[in-house]
Amino acid sequence: MGYQIAFELAENAHQKYRAQVIDNLPPELNIVKDILTRKLLLQKYLDFLFQKNKNDIHVLISLKDSLDTARSIIHTSVTIAYSYMYAGVGDDNFFRVNLNWFITTRKWAQFTTAAAVGAIHVGHLEDALKVLTSFLVKEAPEHVTGGAIYALGLIYVNYRWDKAILNIVTEKLESSSQKTSYDQTNKPLYVIQHGACLALGLISLGSRDTSHYNLLLKVIREDHPEPGEAAGYALGMVMLGSGSQETIDEMIRICENTEHEKIMRGIAMGLGFVLYGCGARANDTIQRMLDSSSLSCARSCMIIALAT
């Protein structure tokens, strides 16, 4: 019965609550801790996905060979289809066999390719860095690095107990946020910030961790569209289901003061995350958004309604 309750909590409770339960468990209950961190649950899921994998690789081969993948949007579409088909399965043979095809991409398509590898390996915690090593080398373009950091977040989604991985993500976010951090073209590393924000939001999902929240808040206040949009999503992910009025007020204030549509869009979705499952408690915020002069803020009402 105790194990069943632990599995139910691992499946349904947010990370902050599970962390509090874990902190109060005696040392000898290691199995219960592995369940509550979702480590054991992930192993069961991944075994099932691998054993029941019925994907037809020839569908992907046909898409790759028959479509005009020289066009970036089509190439990206095939890559995303691949990541959806094999999400969590851990089978990246198609990627490795067709590596030359995958590396022909540029800029945001590179970001998507690296992120797709993370989607395929969702939950494969022990293999994450080994799988992503080639994307995380110093010489990698910023879009590849940004996508690889995002991929780390996808692999470690809802699992913040690996401090080494968290340190990699937060260090990348902090270093790429510094005004002195530029690439070879003297451009700030906004794409790496974008990937790191998404990764931190995913890993810290529902944790309500104040240090992660403040780090993301710092990014969004810098008012750059690419990292700002991702930070908006991530703020909502960290505060998932909290209904925190302080967070809502801060996000609405940023939304009303920025001129960047991307940041407005990120905050719109982020607000939906904050109010996830809050029911009638969201009504005041919905009315406040309806009264806003910002179209993106008004659009948040639909997202908030869906989240409740």
2-14: pLDDT as tens digits: 889 999 999 999 9
State the pTM of this model.
0.92
| Share of the chain residues as helix, strand and coil, in percent rounded to the nearest 5 | 70, 0, 30
87 lies in some domain: no
62 lies in some domain: no
**Element (DSSP H or E) covering residue 220:** helix 210-221
Give the whole-number percent of the chain exceeding pLDDT 90.
66
Cα 303 to Cα 66: distance, rounded to the nearest angstrom: 38
208 lies in some domain: no
Cα 69 to Cα 78: distance, rounded to the nearest angstrom: 8
- Secondary structure of residue 86 in the 3-state scheme: coil
Residue whose structure tokens are 């569209």: 225
Residue whose structure tokens are 């851990």: 90
What pLDDT is attached to residue 180?
40
- Closest Cα partner for 228 from 185, 257, 205? 257
29: tokens are: 């209950």
Most distant CA pair in the chain, distance: 59
All residues at 6 or more sequence positions from 18 whose CB lies less than 8 Å from its CB, including other chains: 9, 10, 36, 37
Residue environment code for 177-216, b if the CB has 16+ CB neighbours within 10 A, otherwise e = beeeeeeeeeebbbbbbbbbbbbbbbbbbbbbbeebbebb
Q: How many domains does the chain have?
A: 1
174 lies in some domain: no
Confidence of residue 22 (pLDDT cuts 50, 70, 90): very high
29 lies in some domain: no
What pLDDT is attached to residue 145?
93
Check pLDDT > 90 for residue 165.
yes
Supply the angle between the helices 190-203 and 210-221 in degrees, to the nearest 10: 150
18 lies in some domain: no
Q: By mean pLDDT, which of 154-158, 170-174, 200-204 is the weakest? A: 170-174
Residue-wise pLDDT for 273-308, tens only, equals: 999 988 888 888 888 888 877 767 777 777 888 777
Range of the domain at 289: 225-307
80 lies in some domain: no
Cα 201 to Cα 217: distance, rounded to the nearest angstrom: 12
DSSP single-letter state for residue 186: S
24 lies in some domain: no
Q: By mean pLDDT, which of 4-13, 51-60, 98-107, 299-308 is the weakest? A: 299-308
- 281 neighbors 275 (Cβ within 8 angstroms): yes
